[in-house]
A and B are shown apart, each in its own frame.
Chain A
């Protein structure tokens, strides 16, 4: 069990889709119509430590829902999800910053939010600031930050959390070209290390080159799982 990072057994996820009615009167006197939508159906999956997993499939096949369950952002309707180790997701990088607080205050808050301890943040704060390349803005309020700076700071905090399991949705473009290369390098470093990486992407070549295993999802189920080149080739042929 010790080399397992993620263990999903019989996971299903139901969303209730409400159909909105235009007026209050209709809302009160007509029965609400809502239907169940199963985003995931009976998923069984074991991911071992250090594996790089790519998840591919058409839109609406449940990729992002699966990612959210692994990241602990939502819970499955049935089944059990066991996650061993610190998960950090590189989604919603700009969330969790307060516009009126300074960069430094925001680093503490955001770091605690994604599961770092106070001491850990204190030790890494210089490194976080340097990596994000925020410069003199660090003691300015967050609302003065440009879009790129916000993203860079979010990315920098997330990678400094030293996640054991890293969750990525799509390819993120972080800031300008210079920072793009820097973050690319950091990601490549993560891919070389013994970290578990789970990413959802439509960039099939990227998945083929960087992931050891690939999961193909359709209609909320895992259709195929195996070595990346074979799965990507299969997906391309059946598309």
Chain B
């Protein structure tokens, strides 16, 4: 019984995710091809803009950029879409008693599928240009998993808060702009004066993005203490969002 309940739960989460993915490409000529076309196009535009207009002294800057911008795209797009998701799906919440977390989680997972596709493209590209390095390339796996976990819990947190406090969505939009520059995405920590590096300990995304950079360019990993501090604060955020969601989700409908 417990086993079948779990399979039903997973089926449900996956069906919701599938809905997100399918609905996005319905009535398009290229259909699922957009999953690949979009990130490729994005890569060229981003690469063009940053390599011509912004100069940052990093070897293989093009590759370096992709390795930071692809995960950032995943994180920021997911967070902006998931935050108002409970409010948008109010009629669904009023209909039945189902696991409510499926609403933001389906957005997280559908974007993660897109992210993984673009990551695979990046790896293929690396392989073709013979610039793939082992074992550093394997860092992509833990980096992606940590990013998925963090994105899921922050999305659940902001979506939960948005039900009662509708300012959260605007706050998230502003926060994402700041967060973009406060995270080593288009630069890396080696370029930061050492007295400022301490600030990056407050950003749980710092180490994850450094991992993404390293896995592609095999530069050196930052201080292990940064990892420990980041993991610890991530853990706190995950715990907090879970507890808050658990307390609030049963009465979401009262605010919608």
Contacts and interface: CB of A to CB of B under 8 A. Distances in A.
Interface of A: 15, 68, 71-75, 87-89, 91-92, 95-96, 98, 100-101, 105, 108-109, 112-115, 117-118, 141
Contacts of B4: 117
B175 interface: no
A112 B14 CA distance: 11
Given A91-B94, A91-B95, 9 more contacts: A72-B96, A73-B97, A92-B94, A100-B26, A100-B27, A101-B22, A113-B12, A114-B98, A118-B15
B91 A75 contact: no
A72 B249 CA distance: 11
Contacts of B26: 100-101, 141
A92 B97 contact: no
Q: Chain A contact residues: over half helix, strand or loop, or mixed?
A: loop
Q: Which of B7, B15, B93, B97 has the most CB of A within 10 A?
A: B97
B23 interface: yes
Contact of A112 (B15, B91, B250, B253): B15
Q: Which of A72, A73, A141 has the most CB of B within 10 A?
A: A73
B8 interface: yes
A75 B246 CA distance: 12
A88 B94 CA distance: 12
30 contacts: A15-B254, A68-B253, A71-B96, A71-B97, A72-B96, A75-B250, A75-B251, A88-B96, A89-B95, A89-B96, A92-B91, A95-B91, A96-B95, A98-B19, A98-B23, A100-B26, A101-B26, A109-B16, A109-B19, A112-B12, A112-B98, A113-B12, A113-B95, A113-B98, A114-B96, A115-B97, A117-B4, A117-B8, A118-B11, A141-B26
A73 B93 contact: yes
B11 to A, nearest CB: 5
Contacts of B7: 117
Contacts of A112: 8, 11-12, 15, 98
A87 B97 CA distance: 9
Contacts of B250: 74-75
A95 B97 CA distance: 13
Nearest to A89: B96
B37 interface: no
Contacts of B95: 73, 89, 91-92, 95-96, 113-114
Given A89-B96, A113-B92, A101 B23 contact: yes
Interface of B: 4, 7-8, 11-12, 15-16, 19, 22-23, 26-27, 91-98, 250-251, 253-254
B95 to A, nearest CB: 4
B207 to A, nearest CB: 37
B22 A96 contact: no
Contacts of B22: 100-101, 105
B215 to A, nearest CB: 36
Contacts of B12: 112-113
9 closest Cβ pairs, A-B complex: A72-B97, A75-B250, A95-B91, A92-B95, A95-B95, A100-B26, A112-B12, A74-B253, A100-B23
Nearest to B16: A109
Nearest to B27: A100
Contacts of B94: 73, 91-92, 95
A117 B11 contact: yes
A123 B226 CA distance: 53
Contacts of A91: 94-95
Contacts of A108: 15
A96 B253 CA distance: 15
B96 A74 contact: no
Nearest to A116: B8
Contacts of A101: 19, 22-23, 26
Contacts of A109: 15-16, 19
B19 to A, nearest CB: 6
A75 B248 CA distance: 10
A109 B92 CA distance: 11
Q: Which of B27, B98, B253 has the most CB of A within 10 A?
A: B98
A88 B254 CA distance: 20
Nearest to A141: B26
Nearest to A70: B97
Nearest to A83: B97
A141 to B, nearest CB: 7
A95 B92 contact: yes
